[in-house]
A = this chain, B = another copy of it.
Amino acid sequence: MNAPRRASYHHGDLHRSLLDAADIELELNGIEKFSLRAVAKRASVSHGAPAHHFGNADGLLTALATRGYGGFIAAQDRRENLAGDSPRAKLAASGLGYIDFATAHPALFRLMFTSERTDKANPSLADAANAAFEKLTRHIETIQHRDPYTDQLAMADVLACWGIAHGLADLMISGRLGRATFLAEMSEEERDAFFAEIILRGVSPQRGV
């Protein structure tokens, strides 16, 4: 079928293969030990091959980050589909999906949000990041009946919720939440409820409507 047809000089779909290999290498070694040559070796290709598809190492990482946002949004959708119908339940679920993704793909999450090896001017990457942000603003808009882009109070809710979800996710994958010993003793449902409650602290008490 799609066996690695590599009796040939050309590859077939090296672009995707390189992204897959880079993904694996990234999670294995982290961004700070990321090696382009190791990626090439994993894809069974010469060390110079990636340049033709991605320009340089940062280009490959930028493409990987862009692809990452797909999984990022999918993780949030998955949670939302399991949640209740209330706008607040959807928002909390989205936040849990945010944390899910970070814990499942910590290195990729770091690449997407805190690495400097990504070209933030890249239009595809910017679009992908923007889509994720849009998702959040619409949740808040549904809850507060105000457009965060024009209403400063609604934007405060956006930043608050984002900050909480992002902060918890980042602290979690750097192992900083270990001091809250009871977290480890909780069941999955209890932990979800615990984080959901914290995330919802980000939205200010409903005014009007």
Contacts and interface: CB of A to CB of B under 8 A. Distances in A.
A156 interface: yes
A59 interface: no
A142 interface: no
Nearest to A155: B180
Contact of A170 (B32, B166, B194, B197): B166
Nearest to A204: B201
A174 B114 CA distance: 6
Given A120-B175, A180-B155, A198 B163 contact: yes
Contacts of A177: 159
15 contacts: A32-B116, A33-B116, A113-B174, A114-B174, A152-B182, A159-B171, A159-B177, A159-B198, A163-B168, A164-B202, A166-B170, A167-B167, A170-B170, A201-B201, A201-B204
